[in-house]
Homo-oligomer: A and B are copies of this chain.
Amino acid sequence: MAETNLRCLRVASSLSSIGIGKSDVVSVLSQHSGDVRAPVRRSDVRRDPQQHQHSSRRSHRLRSSPPLQSKLLFVDDVSSRELAVEAIATMTAPPILVFIADKEEERGADVAGHANKFSYTYDELIERGDPGFKWIRPGSEWDPVVLNYTSGTTSAPKGVVHCHRGLFVMSLDSLIDWTVPKNPVYLWTLPIFHANGWTFPWGIAAVGGTNVCLRKFDAPLIYRLIRDHGVTHMCGAPVVLNMLSASQEYSQPLDHTVNVLTAGAPPHVAVLLRAESVGFNISHGYGLTETGGLNVTCAWKPQWNRLPASDQARLKARQGVRTVGFTEIDAVDPGTGLSVERNGENVGEIVMRGSSIMLGYLKDPVGTESVLKSGWFFKGDVGVIHSDGYLEIKVRSKDIIITGGENVSSVEVEAVMYTNPVVGEVAVVARPDEFWGETPCAFVSLKPGLGMKPTEKEMIEYCRKRMPRFMVPKTVSFRNELPKTSTGKVMKFVLREIAKKMGQTSLSTGPVLSINK
């Protein structure tokens, strides 16, 4: 910790001495993220201390935001360097480049080809820096601290601006909610740029933890890092759990419990059961880039330990209750705006409020006002609240398939299909149909190495035995892998386009064969 602190002070001192200060934007280009991300350090937004009300304060700050332009760009790995140098060649005011050399790489060797008087290596910044540098606090807790881009599962990416206050509260809150002890060993299976790694870049530092980083997702590598470093904590979307428990290393259970926090989609019961049998202790939460991290988590009740494993997994798949530092979450009728009854049946739109809600979308007042209304954040997710107050997300409205007047939740169909031991990943979307309106269409990747290739008919038969007939997919399309965003979310909008291009399903109620390999 002391060493990390000194390295941070040295880099901060160097950045300051080369002219980076308050109001300047600093960005990071990293293979780990696959995209340009722009953490904003020290406010690119004018402060206005007279504004008091949170929501008006938020929107005001964004309206007064000047155009975003990076003054410095960190370039993380070798393969991103050409991209960075090409990108800035066309700029009239290009940013200063800072190249981060890999340990294995000859220091500076590859960098030299791109270096000029406006570029540095990260090691140079550390060497030149002053460890006694007096770092500068933000002028206000409402100053922007970072700009994230949403990964765009359902729409174009948006720039999400958070302030110091929001991420401070969220960081403390997440540590408490997940009961992170002092000196954890944290493995970065969750990309740091994904909603700020759910605030654990700050949180792990706050409890004196060790960060174990990796540049690519690879199940055998992850099992090796867990063993070699005694990893205690890691985060990731359910797909991470799925990939780990589908790995060949799975046959060797872990020699210690690894706490895994998952979010981003409701984890399927079968995936939870598989991962826990390996030795992962799964916690589940819900949040969005715009809400700063996981604001809702499935707080475990001790009495649930007495239930059968499958009931436990079903309960664990609930998103749960607000974390203690968050203000409020509710499900409301979109028409009346009133809370829906908390009976586990009545579906409402999820609305949230609390300190960690974003200031707003960058240079997008219309987009900001469409989600931040009268102090509440609306993102269009829908769900029920059970009588004990636990939220359960149903599906985003786009994930409801309306077939013959029946609403089918794609998540429920997926959950059943995941119980099939040959299924690696599955995503269900709507396919247009003249007769039924829409029909469920499943895209499936099989687990590698099993050597079993079921037919579409067999998959459909599997579903028929386990769900009402109207929910059964009429189409099953096999894929080597499903298209994903850089954060590992399945891009359902891509699959919807593919399903649309398949044309209409036949008027017969039998399945249409459509095997794409």
Q: A residues touching B (Cβ–Cβ < 8 Å)?
A: 2, 49-50, 52, 168-169, 172-173, 175-176, 179, 181-183, 206-208, 299-300, 302, 324-325, 388
Contact = CB atoms under 8 A, between A and B. Distances in A.
A449 to B, nearest CB: 38
A182 B179 contact: yes
A208 B172 contact: no
A173 to B, nearest CB: 7
A206 B324 contact: yes
A230 to B, nearest CB: 12
Contacts of A299: 182, 208
Contacts of A49: 52
A183 B183 CA distance: 21
A181 B179 contact: yes
B206 A176 contact: yes
Nearest to A202: B324
Contact of A182 (B50, B300, B388): B300
Contacts of A168: 325
Contacts of A207: 176, 179, 324
26 contacts: A2-B388, A49-B52, A50-B50, A50-B52, A52-B52, A168-B325, A169-B172, A172-B172, A172-B173, A172-B176, A172-B324, A172-B325, A175-B176, A176-B176, A176-B206, A176-B207, A179-B179, A179-B181, A179-B182, A179-B207, A182-B299, A182-B300, A183-B302, A206-B324, A207-B324, A208-B299
Contacts of A175: 176
A285 to B, nearest CB: 14
A175 B325 CA distance: 12
A66 to B, nearest CB: 23
A49, A176, A207, A300, most chain B CB atoms within 10 A = A176
Contacts of A324: 172, 206-207
A324 B388 CA distance: 33
Nearest to A206: B324
Contacts of A182: 179, 299-300
A493 B300 CA distance: 50
Contacts of A172: 169, 172-173, 176, 324-325
Contacts of A50: 50, 52
Contacts of A206: 176, 324
A175 B169 CA distance: 13
A228 to B, nearest CB: 18
A299 B172 CA distance: 17
Nearest to A49: B52
A108 to B, nearest CB: 34
A392 to B, nearest CB: 18
A302 B210 CA distance: 13
A49 to B, nearest CB: 5
